[in-house]
Structure 1
Amino acid sequence: MALFNRKHADDTRSATTATVPVDPALAALTGEYTIDPSHSRIGFSVRHAMVTNVRGSFGDFEGSLTLDGSAPENSAAAIDVRIAGVDTGIGDRDGHLRSADFFDADRFPLMRFRSTRAEQLGGDTYRVTGDLTIKDVTRPLSIDLEFNGSATDVYGSERVGFEGGAEILRSDWGLTWNAALEAGGVMVSDKVRLTFDISAVKVAAPQG
């Protein structure tokens, strides 16, 4: 199901394309969606002491999706993550992550992502590219996602779901704190795996 087009949204107004029949099921997904944080998860994992992985999540975030089934190139995503919500299950470690050694949450309370383009890789798999801002650094990030489908929940709300992930080097965003190990290597890997499991609810159209 093609939710996104390979063209950058800003280019579509001047582009000339062939007319393609619109899939009615796809067109029905068109609209604004609010990400439901109670049924979504933004997680991460990073190698610790060279031998195991520390896993955690950001539990406080909000975001939106704009899906256009008739003109998929107009689809977009935006999300704001509050650094204070970082949770690895260990309070002291979470406090260290919020400190100036890492995210410096007092000065930079939000991590932001704004999409700039999207493309279909095949079937229900997509790559969404955008700008990720951590602290005072903004760099491009590509996220591979699988569209899990749509459904109407027990409360009558229309939902869509996506899941996927990406890998980043935290040093690209200025997160460089580390400690050397006596046996060699470092305490925290530079590579971080991000995971996304997103459920979004369609915003009801205003009643005219």
Structure 2
Amino acid sequence: MGIFGRKNTDSTTAVATLPVDPALAALTGEYAIDPAHSSIGFTVRHAMVTNVRGGFAEHEGTLKLDGENPHASTASIDVTIASIDTGIADRDGHLRSGDFFDAEQFPLMTFRSTEAEQLGGDKYRITGDLTIKDVTKPLSIDLEFNGSATDPFGNERVGFEGSAEILRSDWGLTWNAALETGGVMVSDKVKLTFDISAIKAAA
């Protein structure tokens, strides 16, 4: 059945009980996201002709995995807006300003999961509430489970990677500038990317 359970489409019945895979059951526990080996990034179209990529250097979060009842697994992530990095200091400063994220007034972007489902194989979808600038909207993230391992320091790790697309205007990020040739400076559509390594907490 995988790490996350299949969505229950019938509210009158419980999620089907399937034989528990011992390997998955062993993954049950709380995990802390390892920011040194994880990344949360984005891609946005600039001037209609190219892509700008960036990410957030500071983030933290937890995963609660339930191998015996995968549908009960959850995720919680906090991202520090001021840590945004596109490789250009002036651009990063503009993104932190009131034109975009207003990092001083709204220092965090948060995600809290509300539902998880298996799409097939190691592919999953986790849905939750994404909050930016005090605006909360639902977001679904398609994920792939990359497996589990014990690192050389004895840490039990799990890995996921995934992506989602949003319209930034849905969260009040509406700044733009018109181009003389038509179109706008920054696209409304933004692709989010997640590459997560998480360490299991001690029992």
Q: Above 0.5 in TM-score?
A: yes
Indicate if the aligned counterparts of 1:6 and 1:117 stay in contact, CA closer than 8 A.
no
Q: Please, which runs of 5 or more residues in structure 1 have no aligned partner? A: none
TM-score under structure 1 length normalisation: 0.94
Q: Which residue of 2 aligns with 1:146?
A: 144
Q: Which residue of 2 aligns with 1:6?
A: 6
Identity, % of aligned pairs?
A: 77
User: Secondary structure of 2:105's partner?
Assistant: coil
Q: How many residues align?
A: 201
For residues 87-166 of structure 1, the aligned pairs below 5 Å read: 87-166=85-164
Given candidates 24, 27, 35, the residue that maps to 1:26 is 24
Shift of 1:15: 4.9
Whether 1:201 aligns to 2:199 is: yes
Aligned-partner residue type, residue 175 of structure 1: L
- List structure 1 runs of 4+ shifted beyond 3 angstroms: 14-19
TM-score under structure 2 length normalisation: 0.96
Aligned-partner residue type, residue 140 of structure 1: P
Whether 1:179 aligns to 2:173 is: no
Shift of 1:73: 1.3
Alignment CA distance shift 1:18-1:180 (3 Å)? closer
Indicate if the aligned counterparts of 1:137 and 1:174 stay in contact, CA closer than 8 A.
yes
Counterpart Cα distance in 2 of 1:20 and 1:186: 51
Indicate if the aligned counterparts of 1:168 and 1:193 stay in contact, CA closer than 8 A.
yes
Shift of 1:132: 0.1
1:122-155 deviation line (CA, Å, top 9, x unaligned): 1000000000000010000000000000000000
Counterpart Cα distance in 2 of 1:19 and 1:112: 32
Indicate if the aligned counterparts of 1:45 and 1:56 stay in contact, CA closer than 8 A.
yes
1:83-112 deviation line (CA, Å, top 9, x unaligned): 000000000000000000000001000000
Whether 1:67 aligns to 2:65 is: yes
Counterpart Cα distance in 2 of 1:192 and 1:90: 18
Aligned-partner residue type, residue 203 of structure 1: A
1:18-43 deviation line (CA, Å, top 9, x unaligned): 54211000000000000000000001
Aligned-partner residue type, residue 2 of structure 1: G
Indicate if the aligned counterparts of 2:7 and 2:118 stay in contact, CA closer than 8 A.
no
User: Secondary structure of 1:107's partner?
Assistant: coil
- RMSD value over aligned CA atoms? 1.3
